[in-house]
Structure 1
Amino acid sequence: MLDEILISLAATFGPLIALLIIGSIFGTLAQKRHLADLEQREARLGAFLLTNCSRIDGQRGELVTGSTVVAYDFFRRIAVLLRKLIGGRFHMHEGFMMRARREAVLRMAESAQALGATSVHNVRLVSSNLGDSSRGTGGCEVVAYGTAIWD
């Protein structure tokens, strides 16, 4: 009797658990690749200055922006839904948002550097939800903007 129940549970929930594990593995690998890419691009920027000063006297300035849109990972979204049941921090979303912010700032800095600017001042970040995050079908947009400065 117990064997039949275990076999029935395995047949019912096995595929779902297998998909969650596979999704988690591939999501983690994609996140690690993205983090490695962020590290390389940040290193290429070197000593490029980013500040939140609102005014720099006597220097030419121009608005520069960088934005990124990141979709919610369905499999990690399920893990977050489970976390809501027991409470605690959403570590997966913290890492997700950190990567989105870094990507937006890098795109802004690379844009300014491509224009020949030597620094970006008065850096600001704005984020918003896209789609239906309660169903895990949405995403997040992060925009970084600031004033590019030429010395």
Structure 2
Amino acid sequence: MLLTDAEIARLIDERKPALDAVAFLHAFARSAPVRGHRRTTRSVVGESGSRFDVHLRQGVFSPYDFSVILAYLPPHGTELILRRHNGRGHPHRNKLERDTVDRDAFHIHFATERYQLAGLSIDGFAEPTTAFSDLATALDAMLVAGGFEPPPQRSLWP
């Protein structure tokens, strides 16, 4: 399945219900490591009926080895990664541009039509970012960028 840039933008912008980031991170912290990583997922349905997963993954030995992924689940076929917020500690090479994101840079992978047309991974293009500095801030940035409703305001008073 090929997604155009317009379809990718529509899916990312599709309004999604609020996701309780604190509860998500607590559940993640309690998850059992498998092959050196903790992982957990939350599924949501957007206002147009599109299905999405938000995946968290973090290395047990390095807190900067993480990914926060927004994936689209088409009605038929496998999930497509629309956006991925990655930690630092590894370089990323943009194959079409022939440039590299430095290993010390946090970076964001973006789904693009042109990478798909070139037979590459839909989210093969990445740019360095200062929008986050750890897993929690990467999740917050994803919820804002991914079209999620802001969580309801919590009062400290009953």
Q: Same fold (TM over 0.5)?
A: no
Q: Which has the larger radius of gyration?
A: 1
Which has the larger share of helix?
1
TM-score, length of structure 2 as denominator length: 0.25
Which has the larger share of strand?
2
Q: Which has the higher contact order (CA 8 A, sep 6+)?
A: 1
TM-score, length of structure 1 as denominator length: 0.26
